[in-house]
Structures are given as structure tokens and as C-alpha cells.
Amino acid sequence: MNTREAIPLPKFELSGLYPAERGREVLLYVDTKLVKKLKVLLSNDTIKKKFRQVAEFVLSDNYDKDVYGHEQHSSKSKDVYAIKICVVGNHRIYCKEFYYPKQKRVVMIHYEDKKVEKLDKRLQ
Amino acid sequence: MTSKVKTSWDDILKFKDRKEQMEHHADMLSLKIALDIKRYLEDNEISYKDLAARMGTSAAYITQVLRGDKRINMLFLARLMSALGIEISLNITADKKSARTELDKALNVIFTEAGRVIYDKWAPTHPLQAAGGFKK
């Protein structure tokens, strides 16, 4: 079985403007294979600022097609959403959602810069 | 580049200072307003292109603002109100959580993780406290 490992992101200070309204806790994880790539991406302050904004939105259990939503629809990309960062490039952080009774775990699994790459066929 | 990769998640997600924290709050507030506007546009089947034409600006600018990439300012709201013939109201309410925290601080109340009061300064010698825990 092909298993992958993910680490939870530490809790960070939120604005509180987006309280989770669906009554379930949302936890954000990052795939260990993505950590290095994501840290390089977030070393840019403008991108980091936008990431924090979208991360808070994700943690509030909301969806929006321009912020955090489905991008590729196919039978194989079930429960896969994309964090969309359209500053300093056109970045996508693809996330797989796992659902539990009172919890949702969002794992960041893949990163792409849409300006330079086309979506990997394996992800479609 | 290597030193940047070694940065911890705490360093990435933690605010450097109060200013950065307030910038984030402003961005979130702007995003919240933007998504409310988007919902209004969707409900009324108004495209970004149409809105841009009515506001005398570009669709690209509308996209950037409503995606949360650019912060909404008062001029944008004024032009939006004029273009759509709508009113935008603002509700100012006390932050209940903060008010409660301040009150608790003033009363010197300590909470457990479950949110229950375990001790307050008016009952420092309660017999249950000595027995291992005073719970209300």
C-alpha cells in the first residue's frame, strides 16, 4: 500500500472574522514530501501573507472558487481542493480533505505554479 | 536559500509584530466584504465585466479585489454602491469573547481547559480546593 505521511501545521493567531460555522474542527496538515517546496514558496513575504489569509479561510470550513475550491473535476480527484494564491505568480496548493464525525483534516499534498507547469495527469 | 528552508512553521505563521497582525486582520475583513459582494453579484447574475463597466474600471481590478488580492477601500465601496444602486451597512458590536476575557481578567478568574471555573479570588480557602479541586 502506498502510504504518505503528513505533519500538522502549528496553530497560528487568527483574526476571528471567520468562525467555523459547520460545527466541526478543521486541522491543516502538510505532506512531508511537500514541506521543503512549500517553505521555499512561503519564504516570499507577499505569498506568505496571502497564504495566511487563505489558511484562515480554510480553517473556517468555507469554500470559494477563487480562494479555496475545486479546480479539476474528475472522478479520480475526489475531495481534492486547491488553495489559490494569485500573487507573485499563479500558485496552487492542492489539498486532500479527510472527513471525520466532528473534524475535517485538510492535507496539503501538491504544489504547482500554474504559470510554468501544467497539472500532472496523475492528479487529474 | 537553504537557511530559508530550515525556517520552522512557527516562524512562517507567527506575526512579526502587531502591525503585521493588524494587516492580516485588515486583509481578512476585506476578504469577508469581498465574498459578501460576490454572493450579491451571483444572486443577481451580475458578471465582473458588467460590474467593471458600471463602475468605470477594469474587470481585472474587480477580480483582484473580490479574490482578496487587493484590499477594499472606501472609494471602491462608494463606486460599488453608486453602480449597483445598493446600500452597504456596517454593524458595530462588542467582541463578546474579548469582553468576557477582560471581565474574567478583572475578576481574577482562572479557567480550566474545558472552560470551567476552578478557582476565584473570593473563595481561596474553600474546603474543596484543599481536597484537590474547586469546581463551580
Q: Is the pLDDT of residue A39 over 70?
A: yes
Q: Is residue B71 part of a domain?
A: yes
User: Per-residue pLDDT tens for B12-52?
Assistant: 888 888 999 999 999 999 999 999 999 999 999 999 999 99
What's the pLDDT band for A79 if we cut at 50, 70, 90? confident
pLDDT of B118: 41
Report the distance separating Cα A88 and Cα A90, nearest Å: 7
Over 70: is that where the pLDDT of A9 sits?
Answer: yes
Domain that holds residue B119: 96-130
Examine the domain organization and report whether B80 and B100 are in the same domain. Answer: no
Are residues B50 and B104 both part of a single domain? Answer: no
DSSP β-ladder status, A103-113 and A25-31: parallel
The Cα–Cα gap between B17 and B22 comes to: 9
> Cell numbers at residue B59, please?
474587470
Residues B39, B73, single domain; the answer is yes
B17 domain residue, yes or no = yes
Q: Are strands A6-8 and A103-113 parallel, antiparallel or unpaired?
A: unpaired
| B91 domain-assigned | no
A7, A13, A68, A108: best mutation site toward chain B, by most B Cβ within 10 Å?
A: A13
Same domain flag for B125 and B76? no
Nearest-Å Rg of the Cα atoms of chain A is: 14
Q: Into how many domains does chain B fold?
A: 2
Residues of A in contact with B9 (CB under 8 A): 9-10
In a domain, B120, yes or no: yes
Q: The CATH number of the domain where B53 resides is what?
A: 1.10.260.40
Interface A-B: count of C-beta contacts within 8 A: 68
What integer is the mean pLDDT of B77-95?
88
Q: Is the predicted pLDDT of residue A41 greater than 90, yes or no?
A: yes
- Return the H-helix or E-strand segment holding A37: helix A35-41
pLDDT score recorded for residue B107: 57
Q: Answer yes or no: do B21 and B75 share one domain.
A: yes
Grid cell digits, residue A16: 476571528
- Find the mean pLDDT for residues A60-75: 82
Given a contact cutoff of 8 angstroms between Cβ atoms, the answer to whether A35 and A56 are in contact is no
Do B69 and B115 lie in one domain? The reply is: no
Nearest residue to A19 via CA among B88, B96, B41, B113: B96
Max avg pLDDT among A1-10, A58-67, B102-111: A58-67
- Dist CA A80 CA A71 (whole Å): 8
**What H or E segment, with its residue span, contains residue B28?**
helix B18-43
- B64 in the same domain as B43: yes
CA angle A56, B3, A49 (to 5 degrees): 20
C-alpha span between B79 and A75 (Å, rounded): 43
Residue B64, pLDDT above cutoff 80: yes
Structure confidence at residue B9 as a pLDDT band (50, 70, 90): confident
Looking at the structure, tell me whether residues B104 and B51 fall in a common domain. no
pLDDT average, residue stretch B77-99: 84
Residue of A nearest to B17 (CA): A13
Q: Does A42 touch chain B (CB under 8 A)?
A: yes
Same domain, B39 and B100: no
Give the cell for residue A107.
Answer: 492535507
Q: Do A10 and B97 touch (CB under 8 A)?
A: no
Contact assignment for A66 to B67 by CB distance below 8 Å: yes
A10–B contact, CB cutoff 8 A: yes
The DSSP element (H or E) to which A7 belongs, if any, is strand A6-8
- What CATH number should be reported for the domain whose range is A25-115? 3.30.2310
What is the average pLDDT across B76-83? 94
In a domain, B103, yes or no: yes
What percent of chain B is predicted at pLDDT more than 70?
A: 65
Write down the residue that cell numbers 506575526 correspond to.
B15
Q: Is the pLDDT of residue A107 over 90?
A: yes
Once rounded to an integer, what is the mean pLDDT over residues A97-119?
A: 84
CB contact under 8 A, B14 and A12: yes
Residue B90 lies in a domain: no
Identify the band that residue A37 occupies on the pLDDT scale cut at 50, 70 and 90. very high
C-alpha distance from A66 to closest chain B C-alpha (Å): 6
The more confident residue out of B132 and B9 is B9
d(CA A7, nearest CA chain B) in Å: 11
Residues of B in contact with A13 (CB under 8 A): 14-15, 21
